[in-house]
Chains A and B, each alone.
Chain A
Amino acid sequence: MNILEFTLLVAVGSFAAGLLGSLTGLGGGVVLVPLLTLFFKVDIRYAIGASLVSVIATSSGAAAAYVKEGFSNIRIGMFLEIATTLGALAGAFLAAFISTKALAVIFGLMLLYSAYLSRKPRSRAERNLPPDALATRLRMNGSFPSEEGGTRHYNVQRVPAGFSLMFGAGALSGLLGIGSGAVKVLAMDQAMKIPFKVSTTTSNFMIGVTAAASAGVYLNRGYVDPGLAMPVMLGVLAGSMLGASILVKAETKVLRLVFSIVIAVLGAQMLYKGFTGGI
């Protein structure tokens, strides 16, 4: 295969990953690395470098649209970014000392977890929780435009637990080159009891900064190859932009099911390749 054919095929694959990722809300980054390593036989370190760069592009592009709607909370995001960026730095340094086989295994587990999480019914958010002393001191409590009209106020809970989970999310992002939106939402939605819409938009907002913290390390280490990152970044960006524009009233239930099956299959395959040494 020559470079032109390779570039076009990778661009088409990345476009599909970005489109499905944004239509289903599961993110395209999580399938990019398995796509590149399993089908295009790219070394997993190059794949992670290219994926990280595309994660910055899609999250920044999406955040630009979200922040104006008033759902994201810039303070929660900024405070938790201390944890995610430090975690990302730790993950990126760790990636240099971990074998590519172990990376594949961790990636496989992460994919299976994402697939499981996407099928799990979302628990109804508890409303009207009492203000938490630390969250109040950090001025994190906020409000957002509610579906019924008017604004809904929320009180953030358990800041230390959320902060620790965010460090883990950052480390996974730096290690695997993904946005780890699944873990971020877990931290904000489950631990800190932040309303779902605020969690997802604030998480998206944080992903770019988190990925930038590890992307710098990957770039300096020579893991970002321009020839590979170019079609990946442009493809994913175009796909996710198209996805966001047709998302408005599309029926995504079936699509979500199909995509989570794809994620689970890729996860099993990464695990298999990791254990048998095919990576």
Chain B
Amino acid sequence: MAQTGNDAFTDQKLENMVGNLLRAGVSLSAFVVLIGGVIYLARHGRELADYRIFHGEPSELKSLSGIVRDAFALSGRGIIQLGLLLLIATPVFRVALSIWGFAEEHDRMYMVFTGIVLVVLLYSLLGSASGF
């Protein structure tokens, strides 16, 4: 824990909130992935497994909107992908929560640092699709 003086809102408090958020995010995504997995195996379990040759995922399992559409159509693979998306989003929410926490501590320098990390994460998740 870093020293921050006697502010009512401390780093330890922020770390506890972050811990709870991480646990909730991981539990929720594991649950969604499990449900999707059961549906996927029930429907496709007897087909041949083949991951030797790389062909990339179809476009509906790559983009945010495609994954959500597929999941709500109750496709097993779509639901799993939605769970994985929730998992990837969990650290992003953690970083966003940290910005709020540093704002509560009136720590402008760390709000900027955390903001940079958030921009990089959002770019990766939303912007890199059209990158190249």
The residues of A with any CB-CB pair to B shorter than 8 Å are: 1-7, 40-43, 45-46, 53, 56-57, 60-61, 63-68, 70, 72-76, 78-79, 81-82, 85-86, 88-89, 92-93, 96, 138-144, 208-209, 211-217, 219-231, 233-234, 237
Q: Check A89/B120 contact, CB under 8 A, given A140-B2, A208-B90, A220-B129.
A: yes
Is B53 engaged at the interface, CB distance under 8 Å to the other chain? Answer: yes
Q: Chain B 1-22, CB within 8 Å of chain A: the 1/0 string? A: 1111000000110111011101
Q: Cβ of A3 and Cβ of B19 under 8 Å apart?
A: no
Q: Cβ of B117 and Cβ of A64 under 8 Å apart?
A: no
Minimum CB–CB distance for B85 against chain A, Å: 7
Q: Cβ of A82 and Cβ of B113 under 8 Å apart?
A: yes
Q: Check A216/B88 contact, CB under 8 A, given A63-B19, A143-B1.
A: yes
Within 8 A of A (CB), among B77-132: 77-78, 80-81, 84-85, 87-92, 94-95, 98, 107, 109-110, 113-114, 116-117, 120-121, 123-126, 128-129, 131-132
Q: Cβ of B77 and Cβ of A226 under 8 Å apart?
A: yes
Q: Cβ of B84 and Cβ of A85 under 8 Å apart?
A: no
Q: Cβ of B37 and Cβ of A234 under 8 Å apart?
A: yes
Residue of A74, A89, A234 touching B123 (CB-CB under 8 A): A89
Residue of A nearest to B42 (CB): A4
Minimum CB–CB distance for B36 against chain A, Å: 7
Chain A contacts for B123, CB-based, 8 A? 89
Chain B contacts for A89, CB-based, 8 A? 120, 123-124, 128
Q: Check A64/B56 contact, CB under 8 A, given A2-B48, A7-B41, A85-B117.
A: no
Q: Check A78/B98 contact, CB under 8 A, given A43-B51, A53-B88.
A: yes
Extra contacts, 6 of them, besides A46-B54, A212-B121, A217-B124 (Cβ < 8 A), are A2-B47, A60-B25, A64-B26, A86-B120, A216-B88, A216-B121
Chain A contacts for B114, CB-based, 8 A? 78
Q: Cβ of B26 and Cβ of A209 under 8 Å apart?
A: no
Q: Is the interface of A mostly helix, strand, loop or mixed?
A: helix
Instruction: Tell me, in angstroms, the Cα distance from A43 to B56 when the chains sit together.
Output: 10
Residue of A46, A228, A237 touching B26 (CB-CB under 8 A): A237
Chain B contacts for A65, CB-based, 8 A? 19
Residue of A nearest to B114 (CB): A78
Residue of B nearest to A229 (CB): B84
Instruction: Tell me, in angstroms, the Cα distance from A211 to B4 when the chains sit together.
Output: 29
Can you report 17 A-B residue pairs in the complex whose CB atoms are below 8 A from each other? A4-B41, A56-B91, A64-B23, A65-B19, A66-B19, A67-B15, A70-B1, A88-B124, A212-B125, A216-B124, A219-B125, A221-B62, A224-B61, A226-B77, A227-B49, A230-B40, A234-B34
Q: Cβ of B128 and Cβ of A217 under 8 Å apart?
A: yes
Q: Cβ of A57 and Cβ of B51 under 8 Å apart?
A: no
Chain B contacts for A96, CB-based, 8 A? 132
Chain A contacts for B14, CB-based, 8 A? 74
Q: Cβ of A143 and Cβ of B51 under 8 Å apart?
A: no
Instruction: Tell me, in angstroms, the Cα distance from A158 to B106 when the chains sit together.
Output: 26
